[in-house]
A = this chain, B = another copy of it.
């Protein structure tokens, strides 16, 4: 019983390590290895929201508008984000992710897909199926 637990620890630890390495690799590839947790969270919000303006982002994140301006300026310097003028209203600007920005916003998700690729390379179809069925049981 103890031994089983240890084995599970080892294999799961390895799995998580692989995924973590993948996401670190993504940040390095973008040339931004020391982004903060907050910055990543903001990029995720921008990604999820779609057509998000400065005012809207201020509202969502409960920050003042100058804070958003400053944040966006920083992201622009990092080449994660750019401004796009709204065609219907010259006052409003949309905050858009660049390719790099999207990479970072989805780093975890992308890392997961890389992990899954590895899983699928290592296991045949029957085994993959088995794995899914086993893990489905975890509530």
Q: Which residues of A line the B interface, CB within 8 A?
A: 4-5, 7-9, 11-16, 18-19, 37, 112-113, 115-116, 118-120, 122-123, 125, 127-132, 134-139
Contact = CB atoms under 8 A, between A and B. Distances in A.
A13 B130 CA distance: 17
Q: In the assembly, how many copies of this chain are there?
A: 2
Contacts of A14: 135, 138
Contacts of A13: 112
Contact of A15 (B18, B122, B123, B138): B138
A57 B135 CA distance: 42
The 7 A-B pairs with the shortest beta carbon distances in the complex, nearest first, are: A11-B135, A7-B132, A122-B138, A122-B137, A8-B116, A131-B134, A4-B128
A116 B37 contact: no
Nearest to A132: B7
Given A8-B132, A15-B138, A130-B130, 15 more contacts: A4-B120, A5-B120, A8-B131, A9-B113, A11-B132, A11-B136, A12-B116, A14-B135, A14-B138, A15-B135, A16-B112, A18-B138, A119-B138, A122-B138, A131-B134
Nearest to A128: B4
Nearest to A108: B16
Given A13-B112, A16-B16, A37-B37, A8 B120 contact: yes
